Structure 1
Amino acid sequence: MNTVTRKLLRESGTTFAEEVGVPLKDQPAALFKLLVLADLLSARISSGVAMAAARELFDAGGGTPRGMSGLTWQQRVDALGRGHYVRYDESTATRLGEVARMVQDKYRGDLRRLAAEADHDPGKAAELLREFPGIGPTGVDIFCREAQAMWPWLRPYVDSQVRKGAERVGLPSAPDKLAAQVPAKDLAHLTAALVRVSRDKRLADSVTSS
C-alpha cells in the first residue's frame, strides 16, 4: 500500500454509511438504512445535509422498512426538516414511504433477498435497485459502492466519481488496478475517500503533499 492510499484511508476512509452510524453488516436493517441514505444522497443537495436527514429519520424510527412505513407522512417531513433537507422534504417523505413498502412487499423486509434474486450479479442488482422510487444511476452507484463492503460479489465497484478521485490523486482508475491497492475488505473505504477527494481539491492536495 503506497503513501497516498494509506493517507486516504486514514484521513477520509470512513464510508458515508458509517458516518451516519450505519454498520457495514449484511443485515436487513443496515441494508435498508443504506438504501435510504443512497436515496437521500441522490438529490441535488449537499452530502452533509443528506446525512443529517438520514440520522433524523433513523432516530425517529425510520431505520427499518416497518419503522419507516409506520411513520406518518408528516413525521417523515418533520424529520427531514430537522436535518435541513427542506427543498425536497415533501416529495422525499412520500417516496421513502413507497420505498419502505416495496422492500416489505417484494423482499419481505430483507434486501438480502434482492441479492439472491439478482443471483449475485452486479448488473442485475443495479436493475433491481432502479425499481425503487428515487433510485437512479447515481443512487445505484452510492448503494453498490458502499454495499461492496458487505457483498463481496459487487467488488470491485468503481463508479465515475471514484475514478475522478483516483485520477486526481494519481491512483489507477481501472477497477481491477484500483482494487489491487488495498485489501479487499478496505475497498469500500478507499472508494468513499476517493469520492471525497473528487469533490474537494484541497483535500486531494493534502493527501498528495509530502
Structure 2
Amino acid sequence: MALGIALTVPEMAMAGEAPALAPVALVSGAAHAEYVGTVSRGFDMIRAGKPEKAVKLFDSVISASEQGLAGDARPRLCLSDNGGHAAPSNAIMVSSAVCDAHFGKGYALVDLGRGDLAENELRRATELAPDNAHYANEYAELFKSRRQFQKSYDLFAHAWAIVDKNTKGSDAGIAGRALRGMGFNLIELGRLGEAKQMFEQSLLYDPGNSGAKSELDFIAQRQAIGA
C-alpha cells in the first residue's frame, strides 16, 4: 500500500519516542499541531522499517483524542485541514491527525503481517473521514490482497464517487488509482468490457501509467481468444 501522506515533523521532536499527549475535548490549534507532529513521526518510523514504534506513536494520538472525549457518545468526524467546515449537529469534530493516526496504524499493522487488526484501523479512518478518497483506496487494497474482489471493487467505486474528477487537479493520481482498482477487480470478476473502460478512463488522469497499459494489453489478448 502506498503512503501518500506528507506531514511536517516538529524540529524539537525526537524520532521514535511517543510523547505524553494532553487529551483535549475540543480541538485546539496547539493540540492539532502536536497530533500532526506525532503522526508525522509515526510515518517516519514506517519509512525507517520500524512499524512497531509507528504503532505506539499512532496509538498515543488515538488514545489522547479518545480520552479527551470520554463520555461523549456523539459520532466523530475529522476536521479538515482546509477549515471552514462546521460539524453536523449530531457529530463532534476531531483533529484530522486522528484520522491519519488510524490510517497509519493500519498501514503499520499490514507491515507487521496483522491484516486482521489493520482492517479495523483502515475502516475507522474511512468512517471518520467519509469524504477521503485516499483512505478508501487504501482500504480497498486490503480486500484486493485477500481476493475479495467485489468488496474491493465497491470501496474503489466509493473512492471514485467522492474524489475530485479534475484530470489536472491535485487528486488526479487518487482518481486514476481508484479507476485502476475498479478495473483490476472487474477483470477478476470476469467483466472484461467494463474493466477496459476503467483502465482507459484512468489514463486520462495518469497518462503514463504502465500498469494500466499492461492491463489493457491483457484484456485485449483475452478478448481476442474469446476468454
TM-score, normalised to structure 1's length?
Answer: 0.27
Higher RCO (CA < 8 A, seq sep 6+): 1
Q: Judging by fraction of residues, say which structure has more helix.
A: 1
> Larger radius of gyration, structure 1 or 2?
2
